[in-house]
Amino acid sequence: MDPQWDDMKVFLAVAREASLSGAGRILKMDPATVGRRVARFETALETLLFVKSPQGYALSAAGDRLLVHAEEAEQAMRAAKEALSGPSDTLAGQIRIGAPDGSANYLLPQVCARISVDNPDLDIQIVSLPRVINLSRREADMAITVSAPTAAHLKVEKICDYKLHLAASRHFLKEFPPITNVEDLKKHRMVGYIPDMIFDRELDYLNEFGLERVALASNSVSVQLKLVTQGTALCVAHDFTLPFHRSLRKVLADQISLTRSFYLVRHHGDQRSERLNRFAEALNKGLRDEVTRLEGLT
């Protein structure tokens, strides 16, 4: 039997969710039906696609090989649907972006709001997670990252650089001993990421200054900044966040300045989608412009 697209959709959902219940939620089927569909597909192909374990459904070697072709078929179906709908001056449908919470909280709302106004039939979803978004499981159509992944099936495009500096509140700078060099930082409380929840080495800022203790920690950038506004500690802050926290001031700006980069990550096959290409272009330009605008305010 030749695999049908409906069979492929069921296969993809189980492969990405690693469970019948998770796949059922996506497909709007009950888990028993999903299980029967998988078993029927395996019988038709005369191949075991999944290995069941207490952790769920893992791809077999054959299933792993089929996954590549199933994703290519999915991308081709999307491109065909777009081609049939004809060219349009505006974008439509749904596009989901995954992003770390710094960019999701302080950049994407402005950028996506402007794109939405220009494309009234487009639904934009922002997924803010303190980890790397899994594009293989289609958690999002594209993702913003702070380091460039190397997987061959991904298209990686640098968006822009951004700056970070030490920051403290005006109250802190008035009430606590002065900070004249990096060594002075060891005398003060620091805010940062929860050490064992740092999901990308590019986020391990305090380690660059030889600071091991994090007195106040969160896996959220916005929570870290709110902790600093309480006036008892310092943190490393993105320059583009400072206009949103007017009580914060840069500290040791002439001695400490970090540069990081944002990357846009997509599936290679999605380059065949004019809609996603146009959205990615608008997103890239919007983010570059917004970082420049906000950093200029500091």
pLDDT at residue 93 in the model: 86
When mean pLDDT is compared over 139-143, 199-203, 236-240, the highest value belongs to 236-240
pLDDT of 212 over the 90 cut: no
User: Mean of the pLDDT values across residues 38-65?
Assistant: 91
Name which residue leads in pLDDT, 273 or 126.
126
pLDDT of 70 over the 90 cut: no
pLDDT of 76 over the 90 cut: no
Q: Which of the residue ranges 55-59, 110-114, 226-230 would you say has the lowest mean pLDDT? A: 55-59
pLDDT at residue 1 in the model: 46
Name which residue leads in pLDDT, 153 or 51.
51
Cβ within 8 Å of residue 113, ≥6 positions away: none
pLDDT of 214 over the 50 cut: yes
DSSP sequence for the chain: -PPPHHHHHHHHHHHHHSSHHHHHHHHT--HHHHHHHHHHHHHHHTS--EEEETTEEEE-HHHHHHHHHHHHHHHHHHHHHHHHH---SS-EEEEEEEE-HHHHHHTHHHHHHHHHHH-TEEEEEEEE-SS---TTTTS-SEEEESS----TTEEEEEEEEEEEEEEEEHHHHHHS----SGGGGGGS-BEE--GGG--SGGG-TGGGGT----SEE-S-HHHHHHHHTTSS-BEEEEGGGGGG-TTEEEESTTT--EEEEEEEEEEGGGGG-HHHHHHHHHHHHHHHHHHHHHHHT-
CA separation for the pair 262, 294 (Å, rounded): 15
CA separation for the pair 156, 235 (Å, rounded): 30
pLDDT at residue 177 in the model: 92
String of b and e for 210-219 (b: at least 16 CB within 10 Å)? ebeebebbbb
Tell me the residue type at 193.
Answer: Y
pLDDT at residue 82 in the model: 64
Q: Please report, rounded to a whole number, the percentage of residues in the chain having pLDDT higher than 70.
A: 94
pLDDT at residue 99 in the model: 94
pLDDT of 205 over the 50 cut: yes
Residue of 282, 240, 264, 255 lying closest to 114 (CA atoms): 282
Residue of 18, 104, 9, 91 lying closest to 60 (CA atoms): 18
Summarised one tens digit per residue, pLDDT across range 145-187 is 999 988 878 899 999 999 999 999 999 999 999 999 999 999 9
Summarised one tens digit per residue, pLDDT across range 265-296 is 998 777 778 889 999 999 999 999 999 999 99
Domains of the chain from N-terminus onward: 5-85 (1.10.10.10), 92-160+261-296 (3.40.190.10), 162-258 (3.40.190.290)
pLDDT at residue 269 in the model: 75
